[in-house]
Structure 1
Amino acid sequence: MKRVLLLFIVLIYAFHSSGQVSMGLRSGYTAASLEVTGETGGGTGETAGGYTTFHGWHLDLVINVPVYEGLYFQPVIRYITKGTGFGRPQPIKPELSGAYVPAGSKLQLNYLELPLNVVYKFPLGSGKVTAGLGPYVAAGLKGRYHFNIVQNGRNITNNSKQVQFSRKANDNLAVVRMYPWDAGANFALGYEFNNGIMLGANYSMGMTDVDRSEYTTSRNRYLAVSVGFLFNREDY
């Protein structure tokens, strides 16, 4: 991932030096979740409820490279928090009555993400409407799994574990292991004002399994809204 980013930086610098590229920064709110299929209890007796929205944020470096009239290649270097919240636990099994049982609270996953969008821009009003799509790849940086210890429906303690992104399996119960890479498709819609202000929204649909559980398959999903500013305009 570092080599890919370095190559992009070199290429973008070359384009920018020739005046053919515009760049900007944007940030905003992220509503993330996991699409989970399989036996969510993991066969361990843990309580498992529904999945809820995880409220996160993102920071983008946006790059516009003109390709043809109105058509652009738009790579984005994005720092983002993904993850999921967990709903109310399901009733525990009768044989576990009185036992101390772990129940998930939320899972926070921090990624460095690289969406590679093809974007079309067309003039409308005091700016341009933008619409695009493309693939993305992301590298896991760090994370935290928050959970409660529950007895007969009562929270006894609040706890958390570090998330480690690794290709290797590990039986260390003090950490949660997840695969280091995420990839999928990205869809974007926005508006660029002539004064450089950007408004946008995008939906990201992960297509790779990011957890290491043999019982479940988990794919990242998120909807993001952003506001930002272009440092320069390639069409000026």
Structure 2
Amino acid sequence: MRTIALLLAMLFIGLMPASSQVSLGIRAGYTASNMHITGEAPGSFSVSGGSMETYHGWHVDLLLDVPLAPGLYLQPAFRYITKGTGLKDPTDHKGELSGIYIPRGNSLRLNYLEMPLSVVYKYPLGKGRITAGAGPYIAYGLNGRYSYNIVQDGRTVSRNSKDVQFTRKNNDNLAVLRMHPWDAGANFSIGYEFFSCLTLGANYSLGLTDNDRQELTSSKNRYMGISLGFLFSREDY
């Protein structure tokens, strides 16, 4: 974890002298996330018997805006973000054994430190510039919380939760939910930069790695974000 922060800090410092037009920015906003889950295994959060719902979270970014060529920029970012999914309880309980206690997932919240690296094209339009970008991202899981209900004959008996631990190590402790610490994928963005240095944007993140430690299931992060930001020290207008 410290190594990641150090490498990112070195990247930011190394890029700053590269051009007098490099700008530092901040950005924050709303995140609508979900997970693409396939397969089922006993003890997995994917065993909800229902469907996935949007998880409402937030994110905050520290970013650099580095000119590469006319209209073309490199934007590395340092992002704290909450991802996850909601798990909808099914309305049809046919086929369930009478009197049996069944765990049903309610929500999964995951906190990540994420690092997108986007190549962005900017085109003058109106009182600013429209932007479009794409690139990879990597993320490291910090912590999380899994909420679930115990159901009997379609009736909720109790509401429970347990911590999510991001670790490479296997453990049979049922009191925690373990997931792979690393997440990676592709990030796509569109936006608009005003001449006042304010920015408005949206992005879609497509996770490509399996985060679930269960062998019989696969879970991949997905989210859409809307952001409002500000770029400091603009010299390229």
TM-score (norm 1): 0.93
Q: Provide structure 1 residue ranges, at least 5 long, that are not aligned to the other structure.
A: none
Alignment correspondent of 2:181 = 180
Task: Give aligned-pair identity as a percent.
Answer: 58
Please state whether the residue corresponding to 1:33 is helix, strand or coil.
Answer: strand
Cα deviation 1:141-160 (Å, max 9, x = unaligned): 00000001111111121110
SS at match of 1:20: coil
Question: Does the Cα contact within 8 Å between 1:42 and 1:216 map onto a contact in 2?
Answer: no
Counterpart for residue 197 of structure 1: 198
Q: Residues 11 and 173 (structure 1 numbering): CA distance in 2 closer, same or farther, change over 3 Å?
A: closer
CA contact (8 A) 2:55 2:84 kept: yes
* Structure 2 gaps, min length 5: none
Q: Indicate the residue corresponding to 1:8 in structure 2.
A: 8
Aligned ranges for residues 1-236 of structure 1 at < 5 Å? 2-17=2-17, 19-39=20-40, 47-89=48-90, 91=93, 93-94=95-96, 96-236=97-237
Shift of 1:78: 0.5
Post-superposition shift, 1:14? 4.2
Contact 1:33/1:82 (8 A) holds in 2: yes
Deviation of residue 130 (structure 1)? Answer: 0.9
Root mean square deviation, CA, Å: 1.9
CA distance in 2, matches of 1:59, 1:198: 14
Equivalences, count: 234
Does the 8 A contact of 2:112 with 2:142 survive in 1? yes
Tell whether the 8 Å contact from 1:42 to 1:215 is kept in structure 2 after alignment: no
CA distance in 1, matches of 2:224, 2:44: 31
Which amino acid in structure 2 is aligned with residue 16 of structure 1? Answer: M
Shift of 1:229: 1.1
TM-score by length of 2: 0.92
